[in-house]
Amino acid sequence: NFVLMPWKEEFTYEVEGALPAGLALDPQGYLAGTPEAGSAGTYNVILRVTGPGGTASRSLRIVVGN
């Protein structure tokens, strides 16, 4: 499991790659939403958080069914 936990404003969160339509990573680090109709498929993204101690990233595969 990989959870981006929002802690303080000094952290920045970003996603590399395309998320399914209807999902978004907000400025506080939450990946949330509901995939939209017609967005079925597999999405490979990298989630990244940067803070005072450096940068950490993790690959994530999101599978959206019909």
SS3 of residue 5 by DSSP: coil
Cβ atoms of 65 and 40 within 8 Å: the answer is: yes
The C-alpha atoms of residue 27 and residue 48 are separated, in whole angstroms, by: 12
Residue 18 tokens read as: 């395309």
pLDDT of residue 45: 97
β-strand partners of 12:
50
The reported pTM is 0.77
Tens-digit pLDDT profile for residues 5-64: 665 558 899 999 999 999 999 888 889 999 999 999 999 999 999 988 899 999 999 999
The C-alpha atoms of residue 11 and residue 61 are separated, in whole angstroms, by: 23
Name the DSSP class of 52: T
